[in-house]
Chain A
Amino acid sequence: MNSSNQIQSIINDLSRQESGKMVAVLTKIFGTDHIEMAEDVVQDAFVKALEYWRKQGVPDYPKAWLYRTAKNRAIDIIRKNKHDNIIDFSDPKKQLLTSNYTLQTTMDSFWEDKHIKDDFLGMMYACCHPDISPENQITFILKILCGFSTKEIARSFITTEDTISKRLYRTKEYFRKHKIHPKIPSADKISNRTETVLGAIYLLFNEGYSATHSNQLIRKDLIQQAMILCKSLLSSEQTRLPSVYALMSLMCFQAARVDSRLTQEGELILLPKQDRTIWNKILIKSGEKYLNEGAFGKSLSTYHLEAAIAYHHCTAKSYKNTDWTAILKYYDMLLNIKNDPIVFLNRCLVILELKGPKAALKLIKSVPLDKILEKYYLYYAALGEIYQRLGYNTKAVSNYEKAVQLTYSKQEIQFLKSKIASVLN
């Protein structure tokens, strides 16, 4: 017999893996107007699991047990509601849910593996409707597809449960108002719609990857969820696009380095000082595999280029040995696709490595200080670094100080302060 804690942890893992699929299937059955109904059924199944498994032990096929429990509950709900027009049964397949001759078999067919996969992906596209704001997209994804509680999401985004509830409510209202039906978009729309989905997945990944969190567990959870979502897009022929492989590759390369980015005390370690021996070699290999697999089709996405850059960092023997020339080429290509200030600043740092601080200073000063750069801590952090290498200590310190004022991240502030200290000593 498993201990209570073991059972809780088995259930938590199952909740992350299965509840999204279950909610997606049930939403298909009950209709998009009744996502809460679907969530309640899933919640119920997990509550029952906890109760029964504690008494009787974990069943041999826990996933099947959960699915069966959810199906039975769904059948109860349908029987109770079939005469009061709450659920829309007009679709021919759903009509069969209204007769006891066909209710069970129809319910079973909704839960066939193939349908589960499509419904899950369909729900992912619905969550990432372009009219829904990115922050609402990822909030909804975590709640509906990743089995996060409102409390867990609030902790992940360092905000209140109230804020999260409001975001969830707004998205559900949007679904209701616009009669959104979760489905995988048609071939002519798949490319555009997938771009939005990938944007949300990458945002989720970066929530975990960026050092705003001191809690390692939360960060790793977010990173893992983002990777699972991307992998599920790769599992279906319709959604297996080059950019999906590229993002998967990029996330593998980034995730491989996640343990080397912070000290035990939670301080940020930048690339030159990271311990390359603890980088995850299996993930780096996977990253290479996905990058190769994603090399088809006509379009080169920003993910391809970012993955190529990350590949060079991951495979360089040391910081000094990094192939900066190749990396510069990819930054040039990135800037050609989108004129992004972050890309520009990163390119300046590549120039700093490749051609020295004078060239980097000339480049960074060559663009006007627009509203975005002006508020961006990395701009001042980069300037600080350049001035420090040039030996202009006063300017270096004043830029680092400005950067400190522009970031809220504890780790980044700590890092910048140690930079200031290194100039002054």
Chain B
Amino acid sequence: MKEFMFLFRGGDEIWDTKTSEEQQDHMQHWQQWIGSIAEQDKFISGERLYSEGITVLEGGKTTDRPLTEGKELVGGFLRVKADSMEEAVEMAKGCPGFEWDNHAVEVREVWPEN
């Protein structure tokens, strides 16, 4: 079993435009998706990130806006177990973030392979 990290790209801008019912409903979908991964004993961890942040640049310079465009912004991550990259990619396709402004899920294998 290998470990993968899903990086959810695309900001949370839509979030604030939704009613609290819509937000709850949307989070139910996350619950179902991550729940189905957990039931196969393939969930490791995952967190949502605030969209504000500070980027530290070479030489110690900092900037208080992430350099990327909104749609490139990492909005959160999930660590899962999967047998192969293919399986992990199939898993990632179910991400409910696509329902809103999730632009992409980047699937990366965690180093080293065991």
Contacts and interface: CB of A to CB of B under 8 A. Distances in A.
Interface stretch (B11-19, B30-38, B52-60, B105-113): B30-38
Interface in A58-99: 92-93, 95-96, 98-99
Given A98-B45, A99-B45, A99-B46, A93 B27 contact: no
Contacts of B27: 101-102, 104-105
B63 interface: no
Contact of B31 (A92, A98, A102): A102
Given A96-B31, A96-B34, A106-B31, A101 B39 contact: no
B48 A101 contact: yes
B62 interface: no
Nearest to B96: A101
A100 interface: yes
B66 to A, nearest CB: 19
Contact of B35 (A96, A98, A100, A104): A96
A101 B47 contact: yes
Nearest to B34: A102
Contact of B38 (A95, A105, A109): A95
B42 to A, nearest CB: 10
B84 interface: no
A99 B45 CA distance: 6
A101 B30 contact: yes
B39 A105 contact: no
A1 B28 CA distance: 38
A101 B41 contact: no
30 contacts: A92-B39, A92-B41, A93-B38, A95-B38, A95-B43, A96-B31, A96-B34, A96-B35, A96-B38, A96-B43, A99-B43, A99-B45, A99-B47, A99-B78, A100-B47, A100-B48, A101-B27, A101-B31, A101-B46, A101-B48, A101-B76, A101-B78, A102-B27, A102-B31, A102-B35, A104-B27, A105-B27, A105-B30, A106-B35, A109-B31
The 7 closest A-B pairs by CB, nearest first: A105-B31, A92-B38, A99-B46, A95-B38, A101-B30, A102-B31, A100-B48
